[in-house]
Structure 1
């Protein structure tokens, strides 16, 4: 169970660490979208960016909960 992560005596909340990991995954996914040419055909890019971040965060939380690392 991850509640806090201690890095050099500084406690980082588990949700913040998960959100940062989701942001990195989102940036990676959006770069793949732009390389494939799919990103150019989407109607509202900022909305797609935001929804991709939310879906990635949700899937990451589901995976961590299923593994028993996040309660």
Structure 2
């Protein structure tokens, strides 16, 4: 079985400057820290909201991520 020579094309990946991605990375990190706070610590000693609404909303997420809650 004879193989024919395939044409080779150069593929170049686009580059993303750090200055463009850094603000989005910081924003995403802040959102992640806020989500971790609400899942892990809200309704405890540092509660921002009165009542158990936030706790009940993220209750299953606490168990899934291994945070103790009761």
Q: What TM-score do you get using the length of structure 1 for normalisation?
A: 0.37
Q: Compare the two structures and name the one with the higher strand fraction.
A: 1
Q: Compare the two structures and name the one with the higher helix fraction.
A: 1
Compare CA radii of gyration and give the structure with the larger one: 2
Q: What TM-score do you get using the length of structure 2 for normalisation?
A: 0.37
Q: Which has the higher contact order (CA 8 A, sep 6+)?
A: 1
